[in-house]
Amino acid sequence: MDLLLLAHLVAPYEEWKAVFDGDAEVRAQFMTGEVLVGQADEKTAMVVAYGVDLEAMAEFMGAPEFAERTAQFVSHHTIYNLSEVAPPH
């Protein structure tokens, strides 16, 4: 599954990104495709992830350790399913 994840920041993007980068090895277990990361604005980071095992990601993000590690950086996440659409004619 391909996803867009918005991290609603309560800390500077650079601090959140350091924590995000620190999880790369674990994330590789459930995000098998390309992962694009960027700052949308002062309060939002965006992650576009291809080839996501949604159940495994939910288990990772639902763990108390994840909540403790990210609470000072993110208030909440919003996740969208991405699907390809035909271009308008």
Q: Structurally, how many domains does the chain consist of?
A: 1
In this structure, the number of other CB atoms found within 10 A of the CB of residue 70 comes to: 20
What is the pTM for the complete model shown?
0.89
Model confidence band, residue 74 (pLDDT cutoffs 50, 70, 90): very high
Give the per-residue pLDDT at 43. 97
CATH number at residue 63: 3.30.70.100
How far apart are alpha carbons 24 and 31 in whole angstroms? 9
Flag whether 10 is in a domain: yes
Whole-Å CA distances, 83 to 2, 16, 36: 7, 27, 16
Range of the domain at 26: 2-82
Q: Could you tell me if residue 70 is inside a domain? A: yes
**Three-state secondary-structure class, residue 64:** helix
Residue found under tokens 């609470």:
71
